Amino acid sequence: MTATVEQPTAPPGARKVTARSLTETVFRAREISIAGCLVLLVLGTWAANHRFLSEQGVKDLLLNASILILLAVGQSVVVLTRNIDLSVGSVVGLSAFACGKFVSGTDRNAVLALLLGIGVGALCGLVSGLLVSFGRVPALVVTLGMLYIIQGTDYWWAHGQQINAADVPASVLDLGSGSVLGVPYLALIAVAVLAAASYYLRSYRSGRELYAIGSSPEAARLAGIPIRRRILAAYLFSGAVAGFAGALWLARFGTVVADNAHGWELTVVSAVVVGGVAITGGTGSVWGAALGALLLTTVGSVLVVLKVDSFWQSAITGALLLAAISVDRIVTLRMTSALRKRNARHVHQV
């Protein structure tokens, strides 16, 4: 006769909480807190200067944030895989100049310019992705090298030349200045790309696998996830979005030179990390990254409205970045410790 020991069944509400669910809860709370800070910042500035929330003021704020939001979306997908792309700013500059040369003095429409921008950016992302994924070269080295290569190529091509708004077709400029019910086209485009990327990451297996790669590359490999292909796809997407943003840069400003978006790399990374995407990968959302981009853009606009030295924008951005990384590290350590204690108690109970 065999005796069977029946294990006690835990009540439905006492199921084990995984590290992933705890992490998502913490970072979701951070996204909400960023949104709250953004609202308080806007309202406080409006109280000091009522023109800040005028129709034109809101439109300018949305236009200024749109391109940074797009870049933050592309960067987020790469950072989720525990990598980084420091070449996005230079890709924007190259794409903007290429699109400007393509449409300058012609009647070519905006769609062709956008497609060219996406193609230029995708090619840059493909090179970076191949070196990082299949070449196994550290992402920091690859993308930093690509930054200088692309910048050098852009300067060599431009030779000090400038694309003027007077030479850009009206259809392209209308894309950058037009609006629907007061909402700029650029803002609508940024929201559309943001929503599409969020849906893909949440609803498709290949999108969820990016989180798995960032959380634990070794576990992802053992689970049969094609890590190299997924990382390559992430860089390809980031490059394509940066190229797309470059074409929109041309539409937004009309005038293009070789060093457009120079130095935006760190601003984009800051927006992503401040928005709750862990620099160590595997956690965060593109919506949080967009909030981070909007927050940094709003800070810049607020300083202009309040007539504060622009130096403080860089100082505030750096402080927010350090705070975000510190919070990520502290939260990760505490959650790891809490989960170990929880698992230890569970083993003793069994």
* 93 found inside a domain: yes
Q: 341 lies in a domain?
A: no
Residue-wise pLDDT for 217-258, tens only, equals: 999 999 999 999 999 999 999 999 999 999 999 999 988 888
Distance, CA of 217 to CA of 83 (rounded, Å): 11
Gap between the Cα atoms of 32 and 44, Å rounded: 18
Residue 139 counted as domain residue: yes
Does any domain span residue 224? yes
Report, in angstroms and rounded to the nearest whole number, the Rg of the chain calculated over CA atoms: 23
Mean pLDDT of 184-209: 94
Q: What is the pLDDT of residue 308?
A: 76
Is the model more confident about 149 or about 39?
149
pLDDT at 207: 93
- pLDDT above 90 as % of the chain: 46
Q: What is the pLDDT of residues 295-311, one digit of tens each?
A: 888 888 888 887 777 67
Banded model confidence at residue 345, pLDDT cuts 50, 70, 90 = low
**Is residue 8 in some structural domain?**
no
User: Per residue in 168-192, pLDDT tens?
Assistant: 899 899 998 888 988 899 999 999 9
Is the pLDDT confidence value at 165 over 60?
Answer: yes
Alpha helix positions (H), 81-169: 88-103, 110-133, 139-158
Which residue shows structure tokens 């699109």? Answer: 99
d(CA 74, CA 236): 9
Using CA of residue 50, residue 264, residue 296, residue 118, what is the dihedral sign? positive
- Whether residue 121 lies inside any domain: the answer is yes
Residue 251 lies in a domain: yes
Q: Domain with 66 in it: what CATH number?
A: 1.10.3470
pTM: 0.84
Residue 317 pLDDT class (50, 70, 90 cuts): confident
User: 263 is in which domain, residue-wise?
Assistant: 19-38+49-335
Predicted confidence (pLDDT) per residue in 90-142, tens digit: 999 999 999 999 998 888 888 999 999 999 999 999 999 999 999 999 999 99
Is 239 inside a domain boundary? yes
One DSSP character per residue, 60-71 reads HHHHHHHHHHHH
Number of domains in the chain: 1
